[in-house]
Structure 1
Amino acid sequence: MRKKPKPLKPGAHIRIVAPAGIVNPKNLQITQDFLTHRGYTVSQGAHVLDQHEIFAGKETDRVQDLVDALSDPHVDAVITARGGYGSVRLLPLLDQIDLSHLNPKCLLGYSDITALHAYFFTRYGWVTYHGPVMESDWTHENGQIALDVLAGTKTCWPTRAMEVLNPSHAPITAPWHGGNLTVLTSLVGTPYFPSLNDAVLFVEDVNEAPYRVDRMFHQLLLSGCLEGIRGIVWGEGVGCGNDTDPLTVKQIVYQMALECGVPAWYNFPAGHGVNNWTVPLGEPLTISDNHVLLAGE
């Protein structure tokens, strides 16, 4: 059963957690000040600024901060500090804790946080949000869109720069699942990979050569993970080759769409690039040639 968190209200309490890489305190403070100035109460998990090996603290501490944030009745939303690497190491520890009695809260992040998006949907059916982390730049459009989406006031994403590949004759309404392609592919064969049956696969990546993107798509295909998908959306692929490559990411996405017999969209404004618009994962969205909107809007 799909469970959506309550919209974020003005003055809500936001908790920062760091489930992955070591945090830059200066960058964190910039966004914390921005959110405070906008009227939100912002607090940090006890271990956000910890350092252990390449991670923001030990696994047990990072999990505890996340569980504390989700369990605290005074916390309304959880925003991750950054990506990097490390979220996947928390999943077995989360499995030792029963969170089924909790109502979902807005959980926001991208990149390595893809592992947590997949976890909370597969385990509890929670809708979570792919969007900026605290170390992102919130002072421009991305930050405002994130707050509007979490508040439930933004329900349409115009996508004039997005290209339609293998076009459909009608809009498609289906939940989106995915996030970072590399992180998502690493979950193949685990109990945490979300079912893509009757869903749209949304993926993006950074600094991955086209042949590696092709290999990951084929791993998803050959493992059966793409059975029943309704469409493919590629976000911003920063550093993933260029238009002069013999095989481009755009060609790969197009070929995979043909293989699966579904439409595809290229260059949706979300990912590691300048544009990182917040989108709900697990909630039905309607995508057409030039916009995405919440189903029913």
Structure 2
Amino acid sequence: MNKDATELSRRQFLYRLGQLGAGAGASLLATQSLAVNIANQNDNHNHSDQLTKDDLPTTITANNPPVAPNSSCILPTIETRLFASSNVGSNDTRNQLALERLACAGFKIDNPKIVDRQYLRFAGTDIQRASDLQNIATGAIATPKLLMGVRGGYGAMRILPLIDWQTLGRLMTERGTILTGFSDVTAIQCALLAQGQMSSLAAPMLYSEFGKTMPNEVSCRQFVEALTNPNLSIEITSADLTSKRLPAILAKDENQSLTGTIWGGNLSVVSALAGSPYLPRIDGGIVFLEDVGEQTYRIERMLYDLYLAGVFKNQQAIVFGSITGQGEDSYDARYDVAKVVRQLHELTGLPIYNGMSFGHIAQKHSFPLGARCQISPNALGGYQLSFADYPIVEASAMNVAGLWQGS
């Protein structure tokens, strides 16, 4: 298909969606003024300096300058459904802007009204939130190509027993469905892998990234790269995102390479699943962990939870992503994340790879969980992660610039 046939001005795009009717047009709920409205709004989630399990401050840095409004969109064709397993996305304007951007980028969202649900702090009752996935398992809703998490926070653990993960995993495998998210969505991803033997994608979410006044362009591009590249690789040159006092590779043999299934996610969630049937048991696996806003002793306590539960047995390695916002220990400042990671290395005897560029940070590299991963040292003093055996989306169906487009 040529460029003239696929690219439309935003005005043409909105008109064409209207002509397609309510079903197709429902994936675009925002108007051209939304980006202006949100830019003028004092969104506490965007401008707070406090790191949380879900959101980060939206800052404009030299590495992420303001971008010009995107003047073209493509008709959305990627069959997408949202699932809201955790916190409510309380800012309606932010939700609508995210929906607009995703539609412009090529995602045909079948259930956009899901963002309007709320029960207490959650994005709906337990039954409502579980139904986002369980209705697919029962066949009440056709299996989409993409299942995108709306937001993290807390709440996903409450719905784990309400979903037939084995059937859901089978249907997703048959369709080649990609489930995306991180943070509290780790509970969903672990259950899907443990009981459904299906991979997922550690990636930004609707409210948490695409609804920001200024989404991070690198995060958006890397999200699309992970969605479309069947041979994704990520280079890590420094341990700084985990701790500046650690080497990138902490191992007896820094030149070794290893291959296994990578799994895990947010440390708080993974440790909370220890002893449950929703935590994967993978022989020869590679455990990935990240977290934000936890004191150093709490990080170590959660790692000990996993160690004492035998989770690190029969694993080949541990990969740490970003560990941010932990602060300084008031008893002794020398007790920091570097000490904790070195202690874990002594306990387990496993090689530990630090500084993976994913977690509660503004600029992250999406990657598959539950897929085959090879870790090997690189020429820069760090390491490379190479991934295989996971579903993808055709790159021609996506307009990456739509993910950060303005008005």
Q: What 5-or-longer segments of structure 1 have no aligned partner?
A: 1-9
Question: Who is 2:250 aligned against?
Answer: 165
Return the structure number with greater helix share: 2
Q: 1:286 aligns with which of 359, 362, 374?
A: 374
Matched, 1:91 2:184: no
Which one has the largest radius of gyration?
A: 2
Matched, 1:58 2:121: no
TM-score normalised by the chain length of structure 2: 0.66
Answer yes or no: is the 8 Å Cα contact 2:180–2:203 preserved in 1.
yes
Question: Who is 1:175 aligned against?
Answer: 261
Question: Who is 2:295 aligned against?
Answer: 209
Change in Cα spacing, 1:222 to 1:96, as seen in structure 2 (3 Å) is closer
Q: Deviations over 1:43-75 (max 9, x none)?
A: 335543211111111011111122345654362
**Per-residue deviation at 1:27?**
2.6
Q: What 5-or-longer segments of structure 2 have no aligned partner?
A: 1-75, 240-247, 378-382, 390-407
Question: Match for 1:282: what amino acid?
Answer: G
Count of residue pairs the alignment pairs up: 287
Change in Cα spacing, 1:189 to 1:156, as seen in structure 2 (3 Å) is same
Matched, 1:262 2:325: no
Change in Cα spacing, 1:161 to 1:11, as seen in structure 2 (3 Å) is farther
Determine the C-alpha separation between the residues in 1 that align with 2:230 and 2:328: 36
- What is the root-mean-square deviation in Å for CA atoms of aligned residues? 2.3
Answer yes or no: is the 8 Å Cα contact 2:293–2:326 preserved in 1.
yes
Q: Deviations over 1:68-105 (max 9, x none)?
A: 45654362101100001010111111149843651331
Q: 1:103 aligns with which of 172, 176, 201?
A: 172
Q: Deviations over 1:133-164 (max 9, x none)?
A: 11233441112211221223561112123411
Answer yes or no: is the 8 Å Cα contact 2:321–2:355 preserved in 1.
yes
Question: Match for 1:176: what amino acid?
Answer: I
Question: Match for 1:161: what amino acid?
Answer: S
Matches within 5 A, 1:147-162: 147-153=224-230, 155-162=232-239
Question: Match for 2:307: what amino acid?
Answer: L
Structure 1 range deviating more: 207-216 or 71-80: 71-80
Q: Give secondary structure in 1 for the equivalent of 2:171.
A: coil
Structure 1 range deviating more: 74-83 or 61-70: 61-70
**Per-residue deviation at 1:236?**
0.8
Determine the C-alpha separation between the residues in 2 that align with 1:96 and 1:258: 36
**Per-residue deviation at 1:262?**
1.4
Determine the C-alpha separation between the residues in 2 that align with 1:247 and 1:19: 35
Q: Percent identity?
A: 28
Determine the C-alpha separation between the residues in 2 that align with 1:103 and 1:66: 11
Determine the C-alpha separation between the residues in 1 that align with 2:166 and 2:352: 38
Determine the C-alpha separation between the residues in 1 that align with 2:226 and 2:79: 16
Question: Who is 1:230 aligned against?
Answer: 316
Q: Give secondary structure in 2 for the equivalent of 1:269.
A: coil
Question: Who is 1:6 aligned against?
Answer: none
Question: Match for 2:289: what amino acid?
Answer: V
Matches within 5 A, 1:43-82: 43-44=110-111, 46-68=113-135, 71=139, 72-73=141-142, 75-82=144-151
Question: Match for 2:203: what amino acid?
Answer: G
Structure 1 range deviating more: 50-59 or 243-252: 243-252
Change in Cα spacing, 1:175 to 1:130, as seen in structure 2 (3 Å) is same
TM-score normalised by the chain length of structure 1: 0.89
Answer yes or no: is the 8 Å Cα contact 1:148–1:154 preserved in 2.
no
Answer yes or no: is the 8 Å Cα contact 1:142–1:276 preserved in 2.
yes
